[in-house]
Amino acid sequence: MKDLKTVVIVISAFVAYYILNQLGFAWLFKTLYATWNEKISSFLLAYLLCGSPIFVAAYWLHRRNFIEALGLSSNFFRAFVAAFVFSMPMLVGYASTLSFQSDTSLWDIAKGAVFAGFFEELYFRAFFFGLLFRYTRLGFIPSILSGAVVFGSLHLYQSNDTTQLIGIFMTTFLGAGFFAWVYSEWKYNLWVPIWLHLLMNLYWMLFEAGENALGPLPSNVFRAATIAFTIVATIWLKRKRSEGMAVNRHNIWTKTNEAKES
């Protein structure tokens, strides 16, 4: 019964957020910007207001450990170091092969890297995926599937070409699965996928990597190398510490032999 309550509340709150985001974000941003004529703070507040159903639901379900349940109470600095090391293939690869985008503005970085990295991980990974996977008997794939579809769909504005749209959707859909896996394996320290997402977006923007999330083949080689390095390094570290994998055969579809986190 508790599982059903969590599932209903999480899905309902996420749907409410999605509707608010789709119908009200642009209006909120324009209204706030017209009020105090500052883009970054207006964008931030619009993100927070559209996410209000998520904050209310998370507090309702986990009042005593609200921040921890969203993965925000873990080590911030350690997460940055890990993410910076993991993202080195992209940084070194792009810096050595691509031109630097000197016209990238602070607004571009705030919108495309900082806010995208933080809020997408908070809303999609910590809330939608995390509360389902951590606190119910739903397995990894069912917990991630719907959110990953929505996450991929939200990036389809980047092109009108059918082939590119398919590529963008698959890239972001698989990316959602990757960040959810990282979140799980790093003991639900949300700062790890936040920093990793932020840095990967930042490098993509600072160098001429591509005009949308799909990008050309050379850019994707280094992005794939970063993803592969993150996965291999994470598995190696867990084995070195004699830690079991958070995502395993016992909880791919449903949790059977292991109790859900409480």
Instruction: Please check whether residue 38 lies inside any domain of the structure.
Output: no
Tell me the per-residue pLDDT of 193-209, one tens digit each, with 9 for 90 and over: 999 999 999 999 999 88
Please write the tens of the pLDDT for every residue from 218-230: 898 999 999 999 9
Q: No. of H helices and E strands in the chain?
A: 13, 0
Q: What are the structure tokens assigned to 244, written together?
A: 């079991």
User: What pLDDT, on a 0 to 100 scale, did the predictor assign at position 262?
Assistant: 41
**Within-domain flag for 137:** yes
In the prediction, which pLDDT does 142 show? 87
**Rounded distance, CA 181 to CA 167, Å?**
21
Question: Over 80: is that where the pLDDT of 64 sits?
Answer: yes
pLDDT tens digits, 180-192:
999 999 999 999 9
| 171/152 Cα distance (integer angstroms) | 8
Q: Please report the pLDDT score of residue 259 as a whole number.
A: 46
Q: Domain tally for the chain?
A: 1
In-domain check, residue 105? yes
Residue 260, domain member (yes or no): no
Summarize pLDDT for 131-176 with one digit per residue, the tens.
999 999 999 988 888 767 776 676 666 666 777 767 666 777 788 8
Averaged pLDDT for residues 92-117: 95
Among residues 57, 77, 79, the alpha carbon closest in space to that of 69 is found at 57
Mean pLDDT across the chain: 90
Whether pLDDT at 48 is above 90: yes
Q: What is the largest CA-CA distance in the chain?
A: 56
pLDDT of residue 190: 98
62 domain-assigned: no
In a domain, 17, yes or no: no
Q: What whole-number percentage of the chain has pLDDT above 70?
A: 90
pLDDT band at 2 (very low <50, low <70, confident <90, very high): confident
Residue range(s) defining the domain that contains residue 115:
75-240
The answer as to whether 149 is a domain residue is yes
- pLDDT of amino acid 157: 67
Would you state the structure tokens that stand for residue 114, as one six-digit string? 């900082």
User: Quick check: is 30 in a domain?
Assistant: no
pTM of the model: 0.92
Dist CA 21 CA 17 (whole Å): 6
